[in-house]
Chains A and B, each alone.
Chain A
Amino acid sequence: MSHLLSPSIMRLVLPVIYAVVIVAVLPLLAGYIVLVERKVMADMQARLGPMRVGPHGLLQPIADAVKLLLKEDIIPDKADRLLFWLAPLVSVTMALLAYAALPIGPAFQIADLNIGLLFILAVSSLGIYGIVLGGWASNSHYSLLGALRSAAQLVSYETAAGLGLISALLLAGSLSMKDIVIAQYDQGIWFIFYVPIGFFIYMVGSIAETNRAPFDLPEAESELVAGYMTEYSGFRWSLYFLAEYANMIIVAGIATTLFLGGWLRPFASSHTALPGTSIELLDALPSLLVLGVALYCFYLAPRQPVKIQKLVMAMAGGLCLIIAGVLVGALFASPAVLQGIHGAFWFLAKVFAYIYFFLWFRFTFPRYRFDQLMRLGWRFLIPLALVNLIATATALLATREWGGSLFFYTVLADVVTLAVAMFLAKNDEVDSVVPVADGE
């Protein structure tokens, strides 16, 4: 057995296992993000959301998946069949490919490329072809308009988001995802505290890139029915859907890695051992959290109306209990295992927190109009990103030349950038609003 687990073999086998796991788990994860989305939406809109399939709708994603797979697959008569067939595949392939370089914890990474970040950006930018070609191939005006919007929007916001990322890259000094996280560990601070404006710009850009509200113009249901997806149904449609949610996780993963310390737990550089043990205080936090969820599930289980729902709820609690057990077990294992498992936990927690913001925005804001979206991108975000970049670079240079705390200089840089932002916003307002003599 031991020769099978030799490092060189593991180096080849592990990535394959990770890849298989990601491809297998991602659709499920996407489904449950949809469920979370619906639940969060329902909560914000004073209603309950899915309640029927499973306790509190816990099995809803599975029901949805089955429904989608069994749906009739329609290809419009005058569609370009080849491209119509190819487009969703392109979308979903590119979305999945990007996971190759995403470090979900220090151990879970398929490939640590030295241009990891660029690779993810490049691959996810190819996903646009799925949208554009699908929109064109459908031979429908709604789809075409959706595709056109999508193309213009992605090209514009990629620029802004990319410039936002570079401010963090300056601090990390590497393009490898792993090194970026390690840089944050070494400096003892998440980069969001150095470059909050860069984070903000990336956040806005990433919402636009994933076509989420308020930038969901390519699929604005009230204008373009469903945009580029209008003519798609059943399985093909669900591929697009999967790609969208996979992309959400990707952009959240990038933001987590670059700005939120990746798999690092909060205060990763400070160590406070629990008295009498070698276990860190903060390392116990994940297990307690999951344990809490498990107990809540057990509390809810007998209160479900139907027997099967009681059962499923208890099973959900049991699952949480197992996870909590794994997390606790990791505390007593070797540091590498501990970091691997807890790193994955923290990474996913941050990713979901980031996605929660996406959902929150979606249910709060109306949708931008296309010209406004373009104006926001080109006349506000990109100039701001440039200023932010220059200011951050200057702060870095100043630290190097004159010494002193980098934090102090970045705060200065942020103040300058904020002033520019306000100037830009004010300028923009003058341009965009038709002069109105307030009546009454």
Chain B
Amino acid sequence: MSDPRGTELSNVSATVLGADEIILNMGPQHPSTHGVLRVKLKLDGERVVDSECIIGYLHRGVEKIAEHRSYQQFAPYVDRMDYVAAVSNGLGYCEAVEKLLGTEAPIRARVVRTILTELQRIASHLLWLGTHALDIGALTPVFYCFREREEILKIFEKYCGARLTTHAFRIGGLQYETYDGFEQDVKRFCDDFAHRIDEYETLLTENRIWVGRTKGVGILSAADAIALGVTGPVLRASGVKWDLRKAMPYAAYDQYKFEIPTRETGDTYDRYVVRMEEMRQSRLICLQAIENIPTGPIMARIGKVLKPPPGEVYHSIEAPKGELGYYIVSDGTTQPYRVRVRPPSFINLQAFDKMARGSLVADVVAIIGTIDIVLGEVDR
């Protein structure tokens, strides 16, 4: 202070103390980036000033591969995009190609597809719930969630022999008939699941710490969500009552009664509530569908070699993560001329910056979790 040039001193301290903005590189190896997401955060203390997602570590060129495979050959590849919801991916692809062919799967196939896809939605949401809770520090729910998910995977395994990347459906319908006891298995799961999900809620929904960690975190307004093309539970939590299963019904969804849960604020807590409710709704759909699976063929009469007439089609379904679209261009040959996948995770992840700015590092983890990304789908 006795320094005659006080101004200089204050300048010096400013350069020293002002340098506290640090760049934190989260990932690609980090416990809560759900795979190989890399986020560059600019922090002021623990507050996020700026963020950038760096992706592509899992890029496998699925769209390029598609151009070199026949329509049927490509079907297993789509399972590897959102690998925790392989059934949904398969449904979207098969229906898109069916649309391109101008045909449709028989009603029995569509109902079975609906049941399996809804089970897959529950499985995907369970995985999300477990890991999201784990990110926020609740160690226990993840094991309960996996216990229930295991039941679903067992049903898949019994149905088609695979658990994760199922390739459950074929273009034109189903490869396999349902096994004996399929209905009972699904029913038993659904009956059991009703109070399981209440159990999870007792652990989290009213928990003060959970509420404190999720309420008001990562708010995304409805206008922002629409502008950023965000779909799925993230959009619905922002207050937009929009679900492709209702807006443009596919498979057999138009036959079943279910609600579209929505919330107003669009924060992490709302997204949690929406997904929990969605699991309940999926359970209801399964129960309705299992009541009366129509009899009949399971495969449409399409040839062994698929040569869709030239043209193009865009078909999308409500995958657990949001709108999963396939834009397929055919040139009349056996291989697609171009397959474009509209990956919900990829587009939802774009909203990350909007949600994360101004929040704390701890919130970043919650926000990554709440968007519910699967890097296999983001990077394709």
Which A residues contact B (CB, under 8 angstroms)? 41, 44-47, 141-142, 144-145, 149, 213-214, 216-217, 220-225, 362-372, 432-434, 436-440
CB distance from B160 to the nearest CB of A (A): 27
Contact call B261/A440, Cβ cutoff below 8 A: yes
Choice from B30, B147, B209, B262 contacting A439 with Cβ under 8 Å: B262
Choice from A142, A220, A362 contacting B362 with Cβ under 8 Å: A220
| CA distance in complex: A303, B137 (Å) | 37
| CA distance in complex: A369, B209 (Å) | 9
The 7 closest A-B pairs by CB, nearest first: A367-B137, A434-B216, A439-B264, A45-B143, A439-B263, A366-B138, A222-B32
Chain B contacts of A436 at CB under 8 A?
215-216, 264-265, 267, 269
Contact call A141/B22, Cβ cutoff below 8 A: yes
Q: Mark B120-157, 1 if CB is under 8 A from A, else 0.
A: 00000000000001111111100110010000000000
CB distance from A243 to the nearest CB of B (A): 22
Number of A-B contacts (CB under 8 A): 114
| CA distance in complex: A220, B360 (Å) | 14
Contact call A366/B136, Cβ cutoff below 8 A: yes
Choice from B32, B143, B204, B213 contacting A368 with Cβ under 8 Å: B213
Q: A46-B143, A141-B24, A367-B136 are in contact. Are A439 and B270 (CB under 8 A)?
A: yes
Contact call A145/B265, Cβ cutoff below 8 A: no
Contact call B143/A366, Cβ cutoff below 8 A: no
Q: A365-B137, A367-B137, A433-B216 are in contact. Are A225 and B362 (CB under 8 A)?
A: no
Chain A contacts of B31 at CB under 8 A?
221-222, 225
A-B contacts besides A145-B24, A224-B361, 5 pairs, CB < 8 Å: A41-B139, A44-B140, A364-B203, A366-B137, A369-B213
| CA distance in complex: A213, B212 (Å) | 15
Chain A contacts of B360 at CB under 8 A?
369-371
Contact call B216/A213, Cβ cutoff below 8 A: no
Chain B contacts of A214 at CB under 8 A?
137, 209
Chain A contacts of B215 at CB under 8 A?
433-434, 436
Instruction: Kindly identify, within residues 19 to 39 of chain B, every residue whose CB is under 8 Å from any CB belonging to chain A.
Output: 22-25, 30-32
Pick the most buried of A213, A223, A364: most chain B CB atoms within 10 A of its CB: A223
Choice from A142, A222, A364, A438 contacting B135 with Cβ under 8 Å: A222
| CA distance in complex: A214, B263 (Å) | 28
Residue of A whose beta carbon sits closest to that of B262: A439
CB distance from B378 to the nearest CB of A (A): 19
Report if B314 contacts A (CB, 8 A): no
Q: A45-B144, A439-B239, A439-B263 are in contact. Are A432 and B212 (CB under 8 A)?
A: yes
Contact call B133/A439, Cβ cutoff below 8 A: no
Chain B contacts of A372 at CB under 8 A?
209, 212-213
| CA distance in complex: A391, B355 (Å) | 45
Pick the most buried of A214, A222, A224: most chain B CB atoms within 10 A of its CB: A222
| CA distance in complex: A370, B32 (Å) | 17
| CA distance in complex: A141, B20 (Å) | 12
